[in-house]
A and B are shown apart, each in its own frame.
Chain A
Amino acid sequence: MFNNKIYHKIDALSGSVATLRAEGVKYNEIAEIESRAGTSLAQVIKLDGPNVTLQIFAGARGVDTAAKVRFLGETMKVPFSDALLGRAFTGSGVPRDGGPAITENPSPIGQPSVNPAKRIMPNRMVKTNIPMIDLFNSLVISQKLPIFAKAGEPYNDLLARIALQADSDVIVIGGMGLKYDEYLKFRSTLDKSGALAKTVMFVHTAADPTVECKLVPDVSLAVAEKFALQGKDVLVLLTDMTAFADAMKEIAITMEQIPSNRGYPGDLYSQLAARYEKAVDFDGAGSITILAVTTMPGDDVTHPVPDNTGYITEGQFYLRNGRIEPFGSLSRLKQQVNKGVDKFVEVDGKRVNINKTREDHRTIMDAMIKLYAQYKETIEKQSMGFKMSAWDQKLLKYGAMFEEKMMDLSVNIDLIDALDLGWQILADCFDRTEVGIPSKLSDKFWPKKG
């Protein structure tokens, strides 16, 4: 049923929300508002008798009470085709890169949740060529992981590197509250490397209307879902989910909703979960993996946004001092992919070995982290002025090498090379009896002298 009637009288305006009297309006449908401020889309967020409440995507600034409102009879949709690849759009799907608008195959956003019975146990690794991820906390297909960082950490550089290096079929970047130059940097980095050709960007910059910020994850994930249903492995990179949560807070408060914790709406958990739970490995189609930056206001992990996120996601990465912190960071699904035993799955009717790792993976992972923990203790002792023993000296050498060759985010090496590098670092610093590795493995992998 298409409602062609045009309304000319807005009764109330507040924040980005307008209220008017209208008939035959569907919940969640989209309207077009034409006013002195220009034309914007808006969504119905409340129906109360004859009163219709609209959320204006471009904000209510400059919208006059005599603005023209036309209801479009359908919900928010995002176009979908391969032409999206290599392009950048705003949160409401308008091209941001000067290219032509895409109108093909409009698909609704915020679709129902995946039937748990149609999910499969994740068993494939997403390779990023970043050893702190691949070797120590492997990212697994269908996983949802946040990157917890305080403001100022190079989380967007990290995301850009992952976008460049990950072995996914399609990458969807959802930017929320980005600075304009950060967006440009993302684009130019991806462009230079050629990775842009498999990337779609939906970007809300800090200067854009708040409502568009709220749309970014839905639009990004709707597109990701479409690609995944075509059998593609999609990696969705979101930054920054705290900006998304703040946009929700702002809108909820304007709507006079009762806040629950530090001003955030009571459904913060459900809202975040509805987005993160889009991560999936479909039984019989592709997959969606989500990596999402969540800045921690005041570096406080108990702040409602990181706290609720932690309950939803399958582990977390902490980015501290420009490095992925080995302590506290955890990929809960890594055990599924780092066993190093052959693993066969059906791909297009053929049995393919998807094992991307080696039998020494877990051992190297544990041994290196244990030694790094000891190095940290030694650093503490050193700073307190204790005398350094021969063992301490070895640890100091090891720690420095580990930080330089493994932890530095610019290191870009294949997992197998990273494992070899791990052995090399251990051999450079220690005797093979000192590292607590079973001889079965060190016989095979311990580098020969000379």
Chain B
Amino acid sequence: MTAKGKIVAVNGNMITVAFDGAVAQNEVGYAVLGDQRLMAEIVRVRGSRCDMQVFDATTDLMVGDTVEFSGELLAAELGPGMLAQVYDGLQNPLADLAKEAAKISKDAEFFLQRGMYLPGLPRDRKWDFHPTAKPGDRVSAGEALGWVTEGIFDNKTMPGHKIMVPFALRGVYTVKEVAKAGDYTVTEDIATLTDANGKDVKVQMMQRWPVKVPIKCFTERLEPTETLETTVRTIDTFFPVAIGGTYCIPGPFGAGKTVLQQTTARYAKVDIVISAACGERAGEVVETLKEFPEIVDPKTGQSLMKRTIIICNTSSMPVASREASVYTAVTLAEYFRQMGLNVLVLADSTSRWAQAMRELSGRLEEIPGEEAFPAYLESRIAAFYERAGRVKLKDGSTGSVTIGGTVSPAGGNFDEPVTQATLKVVGGFHGLSRARSDARRYPAIDPLDSWSHYNSVIEQPRVEKARSILRKGNEVGQMMKVVGEEGTSLEDFTTYLKAEFLDAVYLQQNAFSDSDATTPVARQQVMFDIVEKALLSGYAFKEKDETRKFFMDLQQTFIDWNDKPFDSDEFKSLKATLEKKIEEASNV
């Protein structure tokens, strides 16, 4: 029996509702406005009244209007049909919304219509179900009943899309009946399970899961030890991300956060990428939308879009669904993790999500914390990143969710609540610096301030050695600004040049160049060997000009080398040239 209520107050996107019956925190209800129903979520209950955030504009609502509660929490639909979709924060497919709105009027199709919600999974599409479970099998939540083919899950290069026992079922069930191989929609029954008390449960391919609750159908969490290959050299070598790890990218506007996220979405070696455009520009989402279908994923040979899901709640879309969007993204990720896949969630930007919380908290008139962010900001951020992880599943396989979030600190100053709360809980920090982006040194990840707790693709002591030269070179550079080149010793000057060399040929990487945009690990290792040789050699030069000339020349050859296809003849011959140049110049 679900509760009913009446609106008693409206303030922005927040309504207060007097209700009869029982309601739950985070339960979804609908405010009835003529023939429209506006979706809302309970965010606070006090006595017989609850405050609800409405996922649409509240214009025209009146005191006394009816609210119908659903008895359910805000949930995502999980099953076949999610890949290559572009959803809003509440999992409404945007393309379908436009088609539906076109029925109202010609102009209406351009806009997101209030109160229009469509199912996340297509209801009419049929999937070729192949059962794997047999009657009599003992199964529990998350275990496979069968599979269907969907896009990259063609059961050839990749396994099929697993159809699993719904995550919400508790305890062990006996399979009573499984559907024959054949075509079914997501809402048709494909199995009947019997629980310990002999009660039957019908199972469909689609299941619903509350987005703010982590899915926990695994046997144990594993330490994230393996490096996630992003093919961005600075990241993989110096500030690595682990499969199942977390990292954040704070940076001022214009420092290249979004380009870095887009590059990662393109080249990262994972099975699925879920990109949450949370409160950012619509134009950037359009770029991804139009470009990804054209790019071929080397792993599957299919369009990159087929491994991608976009959750797009741009800055002008309702702020309450912006708050929900990051949860929707991570819930979808956890679903694919349950199939034993590696999933990467890219949230751009978590600051906008935090601001959505701040707006909500302000309307609830909660006592504000720092910069008016709510006191629970830190715990919410921590809980979100904690949904990442590498897990061992019930069938013994492993799956993972990796989360990378950008942070947009006010004024570019990292000393603000969202950045600080994020830094406490992530395993990697890729701080973007204005100075680097102004100098067009991209990616603008600050090589001195950034850090990572994960394993690099190069042995740690070697990376440390290179970083110490970077640090020393930077100090010399600072000093040189005061005392000039004349006042610097040749040894220090050489260190400075070495650091600049490392920066120019290895740290900097051109995201818009076809050959340089992506450097697989194998190539990084070869490159690092050469860079290391150049850094650790002593040189017999007598003059600074001579040293500079040597490094400039080496740099030019190295940059040419970066342009050559890996392991091609030109690649090999330039590698030999580089080695020879270094050898000839070194004094040992």
By beta carbon, the residue of chain A nearest B360 is A266
Q: A287 to chain B: closest CB distance in Å?
A: 12
Q: B271 to chain A: closest CB distance in Å?
A: 25
Q: B104 to chain A: closest CB distance in Å?
A: 12
B282 touches which of A23, A48, A119 (Cβ 8 Å): A119
Contacting residues, chain B, for A308 (C-beta < 8 A): 410
Contacting residues, chain A, for B64 (C-beta < 8 A): 24
Q: B361 to chain A: closest CB distance in Å?
A: 8
**With A115-B98, A302-B411 in contact, do A269 and B372 touch (Cβ < 8 Å)?**
no
Bound-state Cα–Cα, A330 to B256, Å:
13
Say which one of A309-317, A352-360, A436-444 lies at the interface with B.
A309-317
Contact at A277–B290, with CB atoms within 8 Å?
no
Instruction: Give A297-341 interface residues, CB cut-off 8 Å to B.
Output: 302, 304, 307-308, 310-312, 314-315, 330, 333
Contact with B along A1-40 (1 / 0, CB 8 A): 0000000000000000000000111111100000000000
Q: B14 to chain A: closest CB distance in Å?
A: 10
Q: B17 to chain A: closest CB distance in Å?
A: 12
Contact at A28–B60, with CB atoms within 8 Å?
yes
Q: Is A270's CB within 8 Å of the partner chain B?
A: yes
By beta carbon, the residue of chain A nearest B370 is A260
By beta carbon, the residue of chain A nearest B290 is A121
Bound-state Cα–Cα, A302 to B337, Å:
41
Contacting residues, chain B, for A277 (C-beta < 8 A): 281-282, 314-316
B110 touches which of A28, A266, A285, A330 (Cβ 8 Å): A285
Contacting residues, chain A, for B61 (C-beta < 8 A): 26-27, 47
Contact at B63–A29, with CB atoms within 8 Å?
no
A interface majority secondary structure: mixed
Contact at A274–B316, with CB atoms within 8 Å?
yes
Q: Is B222's CB within 8 Å of the partner chain A?
A: no
Contacting residues, chain B, for A257 (C-beta < 8 A): 362
By beta carbon, the residue of chain B nearest A270 is B319
B interface majority secondary structure: mixed
**With A116-B314, A121-B290, A314-B283 in contact, do A282 and B58 touch (Cβ < 8 Å)?**
no
Contact with B along A105-136 (1 / 0, CB 8 A): 00000011111111111100000000000000
Contact with B along A88-104 (1 / 0, CB 8 A): 00000000000000000
By beta carbon, the residue of chain B nearest A332 is B254
Q: Is B400's CB within 8 Å of the partner chain A?
A: no
Q: Is B179's CB within 8 Å of the partner chain A?
A: no
Contacting residues, chain A, for B111 (C-beta < 8 A): 111-115
Bound-state Cα–Cα, A132 to B98, Å:
39
By beta carbon, the residue of chain B nearest A264 is B372
The range of chain A's interface size is 35 or more
Q: A27 to chain B: closest CB distance in Å?
A: 4
Bound-state Cα–Cα, A316 to B564, Å:
36
Contacting residues, chain A, for B193 (C-beta < 8 A): none
Bound-state Cα–Cα, A407 to B358, Å:
43
Instruction: Give B82-114 interface residues, CB cut-off 8 Å to A.
Output: 86, 94-95, 97-98, 101, 107, 109-114
Contacting residues, chain A, for B135 (C-beta < 8 A): none
Bound-state Cα–Cα, A75 to B61, Å:
12
Bound-state Cα–Cα, A312 to B408, Å:
11
Bound-state Cα–Cα, A10 to B458, Å:
73
Contact at A266–B372, with CB atoms within 8 Å?
yes
Bound-state Cα–Cα, A260 to B368, Å:
9
Contacting residues, chain B, for A119 (C-beta < 8 A): 282-283, 286
Contacting residues, chain A, for B113 (C-beta < 8 A): 112
Contact at A267–B319, with CB atoms within 8 Å?
yes
Contact at B282–A258, with CB atoms within 8 Å?
no
Contact at B60–A260, with CB atoms within 8 Å?
no
Contact at B11–A310, with CB atoms within 8 Å?
no
Contact with A along B39-78 (1 / 0, CB 8 A): 0000000000000000001111111100000000000000
Q: Is A206's CB within 8 Å of the partner chain B?
A: no
* Residue among A27, A276, A302, A308 having the largest count of chain B Cβ atoms under 10 Å: A27
Instruction: Give B3-43 interface residues, CB cut-off 8 Å to A.
Output: 7-11, 16
Q: Is A261's CB within 8 Å of the partner chain B?
A: yes
Contact at B253–A311, with CB atoms within 8 Å?
yes
Q: A279 to chain B: closest CB distance in Å?
A: 8
Contacting residues, chain B, for A261 (C-beta < 8 A): 371-372, 410
Show the binding face of A for B, using Cβ within 8 Å. Answer: 23-29, 46-50, 75, 111-122, 142, 229, 257-261, 265-267, 269-270, 273-274, 276-278, 280, 282-283, 285, 302, 304, 307-308, 310-312, 314-315, 330, 333
Told that A26-B59, A26-B61, A47-B63 touch, could you supply 15 new A-B pairs with CB distance under 8 A? A25-B62, A28-B60, A48-B8, A113-B282, A115-B101, A115-B112, A117-B95, A269-B279, A269-B315, A269-B352, A269-B355, A270-B279, A270-B315, A274-B315, A308-B410
